[in-house]
Structure 1
Amino acid sequence: MNKSLICPRFEKAMSIISQRWTGLVIYQLLNGPQRFSTIEAAIGISGRVLSERLKDLEQEGIVKREVFPETPVRIEYSLTDKGLSLEPLMKDIEKWSQTWLEPVAADSEK
């Protein structure tokens, strides 16, 4: 059996980014710090899945979770420098999609 010629770091990067919804979470956070409910509403993702993705991205050092000691407590999520470094990649994917993919009707996505 042939051994894979793909770099393990590239493979790890693809496994992180290719998780369902992860790319959209990162793309949404390129707009700046946001609260959980804002991300949830913008993407149309379930709260449970969003929570899992944010925890995964936080573990990878891509997302930072900041708690503000107010009443009620305010929590915001933002991209770290590591996460912000994905912006050119996300913009290239956006540009590629505009060039090569057919528009999708909003109703057919759900």
Structure 2
Amino acid sequence: MKWQDLDRENCSLARAMAVVGDRWTLLVLRETFLRVRRFDEFQENLGIARRVLTERLKHLVDHGVLEKVAYSQTPLRYEYRLTEKGLGLYPVIISLVHWGDAYYAGKKGPPLLHRHKTCGHDFHSVLTCSECGEAVSPRDVVPHPGPGARKGAWDGRLTD
């Protein structure tokens, strides 16, 4: 499997990685969830080269994760906003942040906490079953071929 061919794999993770699997892309997404919208703010916060940032923002716009919205007509300037598709990445980003907090935060603890507005408590990510609401861990899951699987592709790989 070649990196440039990920978007053609019959694997949802590989196809997703083709869109967000670059380290700068993930950091751009982090900034968008911290409500950064303008090019200069991204560049200042990330210390990223203008060319690289331009490429990553264009990539995310081309894939419908961000949309470019004009905020000034004279001169013409744009900001980048998360689309519904982009907002769907929140569980991925927050889970990575909380994983980083657990294993790399250092002695003082996480640099940023996340407070749930509704209840007022700081929270950590928990994966739950959409059907019963119970917490789910890797040992609680049995993968099986879905409707998009190629015939025979998973034979012998997936077991109870």
TM-score range, shorter chain: 0.7 to 0.9
Match of 1:59, as an amino acid?
D
Aligned residues: 98
Task: Name the structure 1 match of 2:157.
Answer: none
Task: Name the structure 2 match of 1:67.
Answer: 70
Match among 42, 47, 54 for residue 44 of structure 1: 47
Gapped runs of 5+ residues in structure 1?
A: 1-5, 104-110
Task: Name the structure 1 match of 2:119.
Answer: none
Superposed CA RMSD in Å reads 1.8
Q: How far off its partner does 1:78 sit?
A: 1.0
Q: How far off its partner does 1:62 sit?
A: 0.2
Alpha-carbon separation, structure 2, partners of 1:21 and 1:80: 19
Runs of 4+ in 1 over 3 A off after TM superposition: none
Task: Name the structure 2 match of 1:27.
Answer: 30
Tell me which of the two structures has the higher relative contact order, counting C-alpha pairs closer than 8 angstroms and 6 or more residues apart.
Answer: 1
Alpha-carbon separation, structure 2, partners of 1:82 and 1:30: 13
TM-score by length of 1: 0.80
Per-residue CA distance 1:12-70 (angstroms, 9 max, x = gap) = 11232211300000110112351100011111111100000011101110011112352
Task: Name the structure 2 match of 1:108.
Answer: none
* Larger fraction in helix: 1
Bigger shift: 56-65 or 31-40? 31-40
Residues 68 and 80, structure 2, Cα contact 8 Å, conserved in 1: yes
TM-score by length of 2: 0.56
Match among 74, 81, 84 for residue 81 of structure 1: 84
Alpha-carbon separation, structure 2, partners of 1:52 and 1:88: 24
Alpha-carbon separation, structure 2, partners of 1:30 and 1:69: 22
Task: Name the structure 1 match of 2:14.
Answer: 11
Alpha-carbon separation, structure 2, partners of 1:32 and 1:94: 16
Match of 1:40, as an amino acid?
Q
